[in-house]
Amino acid sequence: MEKYKDTVNTLIESFPYIKEFSGKTIVIKYGGNAMIDNELKKSFALDMVLLKLIGINPVIVHGGGPQIGSLLNQLGIKSEFKNGMRITDSATMEIVEMVLVGKVNKEIVNNINIVGGKGVGISGKDGGLIIARKMYPIENGKEIDIGNVGDVKKINPEILETLDRDRFIPVIAPIGADEKGETYNINADLAAGKIAEALKADKLILLTDIEGVMIEKELATTIKKSKIAALMEKGIITGGMIPKVNCCVEALNGGVKKTHIIDGRVEHAVLLEIFTNAGIGTEIIN
């Protein structure tokens, strides 16, 4: 009987959060080990279906860097990077789109459907969701050309609103096109943040392969966005965490209420963040 009491207590703890977020939109950037480990893939799909069943609207934006790199290696194509971004010529762009849209996206949709959800896979090209523009990173003070790597010019969320009305869970591959029809690969964190802004989402959650933002070897559970610049200047926020934190700050500035960087290696990480008093990872707030 005690184990059933624990279940009831868990439901009671989650009740205020279910009430708070019912009818709200949460954008989740899905990537890292959570997309590779079979048990984590299953738990993530279950999380998304549960959210939808209780009236929360999850919108998933996924990455796929390791899968792209694996196929390029099989084809004998060397992966080259500048400032952490894959140099993407037209031939590589075709492979990137094939992997993200044709393989990774459909696997996520299938996992959701297997556990009883209604997943629909789209890319940023569908319904003009992501209008892209070519990105020119800065190196040594000069713009450099890294091919078909894009920035987000505009989000047209109509297709997502239509899917939500019909109770579908959208799964988005971060591929966009410009007004001339040129295709671009867009960083999944960036795409998720801009989509969250356009939807005025209550939460943006970035799944990573680390606990969150660490300050003096301790997990920072909450950081105000006004403190971010100083933490970067002091070298506390460094490396690959910088673009993720910047993504969160931009989303907050764009109208998203709360942003979170959480450890996707933890089973049911999204549910733990949303429905428990403690939460997990780092939240970055206004």
Q: State the average pLDDT for the chain.
A: 92
Residue range 73-82, pLDDT digits in tens: 999 888 888 8
Nearest-Å Rg of the Cα atoms of the chain is: 19
What tokens were used for 94? Answer: 């075709």
Tell me the mean pLDDT in the region 241-249: 92
Q: Is residue 85 within 8 Å of residue 62, measured between CB atoms?
A: no
**How far is CA 157 from each of CA 50, 68, 76, 124, rounded to the nearest angstrom?**
23, 27, 38, 10
What angle do helix axes 38-53 and 105-114 make, rounded to 10 degrees? 60
Written as six digits, the tokens of 249 are 């700050």
> Which pLDDT does position 2 carry in this prediction?
67
Cα–Cα distance measured from residue 187 to residue 132, given in angstroms and rounded to the nearest whole number: 11
Domains (ranges, CATH) in the chain? 11-285 (3.40.1160.10)
61-102: pLDDT as tens digits: 999 988 999 999 999 888 888 877 888 999 899 999 999 999
CA–CA separation, 22 and 274 (whole Å): 12
The SS3 call for residue 284 is: strand
240: confidence class by pLDDT, cuts 50, 70, 90: confident
Helix, coil or strand: residue 104 = helix
Query: SS3 string of 122-183?
Result: EECCHHHCEEEEECCCEECCEECCCECEEEEEEECCHHHHHHHHCCCEEEEECEEECCCCCE
- Of 31-35, 129-133, 253-257, which range is least confident? 31-35
Q: How many CB atoms lie within 10 A of CB 77?
A: 14
Could you give the C-alpha distances from 281 to 94, 133, 260, in angstroms and in order? 35, 32, 7
Q: In 10 A of CB 274, how many CB atoms?
A: 22
pTM: 0.93
Distance (Å, whole) CA 248 – CA 219? 17
Amino acid at 5: K
Q: 260 in helix, strand or coil?
A: strand
Band of the pLDDT at 242, cuts 50, 70, 90? confident
Question: Rounded mean pLDDT of 242-256?
Answer: 94
Q: How far is it, in rounded angstroms, from Cα 203 to Cα 283?
A: 10
pLDDT band at 1 (very low <50, low <70, confident <90, very high): low
